[in-house]
Structure 1
Amino acid sequence: MRRIFFYVGAIALLYACGQSPRQQDDSTSTTAEADRTVDGDLAGSYTYEKNGDTVALHLTIHDDKAMGHLTYALKEKDLNTGSFEGRVTDGILRADYTYLSEGQSSIRQVAFKVDGKTAVEGYADMEEKNGKFVFKDSTKLDFGEGLVLTKK
């Protein structure tokens, strides 16, 4: 009988040690944890489908990193598909997008204004630096004319 109590106690202890701090006590959450929760609400799949064009963004947020998969299937244009890695700051995803187009790998920066319901693509002048295309001035991103992807 003692062994049963020992095993049950050991299993309970192991289970408790395996829980994350958020599972154990939400009342001690810090501002950083609250920010991650907000960012976590931004995670998910967003799509744009109109006039034969499709853009699909799958966003995952882990700690302070944003990553995922992005596909551009624009009518009468080459298919671009690949992955991205970056950060979400103040609702703006800025990331390096590594993609294949016509069998060739390329890297360019992308930006999306994400609010948990939509992801609006941002545009700015770009230039090539060290083999990748980057925004000349990321403070001048324009989200007014961007594609609006809707969360699924």
Structure 2
Amino acid sequence: MRALLFLALISIVSCTSPTGKDTENEPKIENVSVEPKAIAGGEQCYLFIAVKDTYALKLNIIDNTVKGTAVYKNYEKDSSHGAVEGEVDGDIIHLWYSFQSEGMNSVRELYFKKNGDQLTTGIAEEQVKGDSAYVPDKNSVKYSGPVYAEGDCNSVPVLK
């Protein structure tokens, strides 16, 4: 009798799901790998405004190549402007900013992460060699800096 009760119990348990519900008609859930969305091409402008400081990027993206201009207009501090060149990798924009500030030419490595119609600035420890500031470990970049909003390139006075 115990053997029959044991077999009946095993049959009941094996015919139900762990929650006790019939799973035959439930949708199956599979692991899906999500790739970052590619950044759309063409001319794009982004602005960050904080009190009296204005930062602007005008980017032209063709395939994975980026060229454009950047302006960092600071109130009561040194401002800068110059050209940017770089590449797009998924939702990351990696740029080299060649700029003039106070009559000196310099180069700085920049990272941005695209999220909808915004760019979040990548922050990382930099090293300086000659006139260039660069990020020695791109994996250390944290996207927690100023957030630029997409805007109309014609309405950005510092880029004209």
What's the TM-score once normalised by structure 1's chain length? 0.69
Question: Which segments of 5 or more consecutive residues in structure 1 lack a partner in the other structure?
Answer: 1-36
Aligned equivalent of 1:62: 62
**How far is the alpha carbon of 1:75 from its aligned partner?**
2.1
Higher normalized helix content (fraction of residues): 1
Question: Which segments of 5 or more consecutive residues in structure 2 lack a partner in the other structure?
Answer: 1-36, 152-160
CA–CA separation in structure 2 for the residues paired with 1:50 and 1:73: 11
Return the index of the structure with the highest Cα Rg. 2
CA–CA separation in structure 2 for the residues paired with 1:43 and 1:142: 26
Aligned equivalent of 2:47: 47
Aligned equivalent of 2:150: 151
RMSD: 1.9
**3-state SS of 1:139 partner:** helix
The letter for the 1-side match of 2:56 is A
C-alpha contact (below 8 Å) 1:65/1:88 kept by paired residues: yes
1:53-92 → structure 2 map (5 Å cutoff): 53-92=53-92
C-alpha contact (below 8 Å) 1:97/1:107 kept by paired residues: yes
Tell me the matched-pair count. Answer: 115
C-alpha contact (below 8 Å) 2:105/2:131 kept by paired residues: no
Aligned equivalent of 1:104: 104
**How far is the alpha carbon of 1:64 from its aligned partner?**
2.3
What's the TM-score once normalised by structure 2's chain length? 0.66
CA–CA separation in structure 2 for the residues paired with 1:56 and 1:42: 17
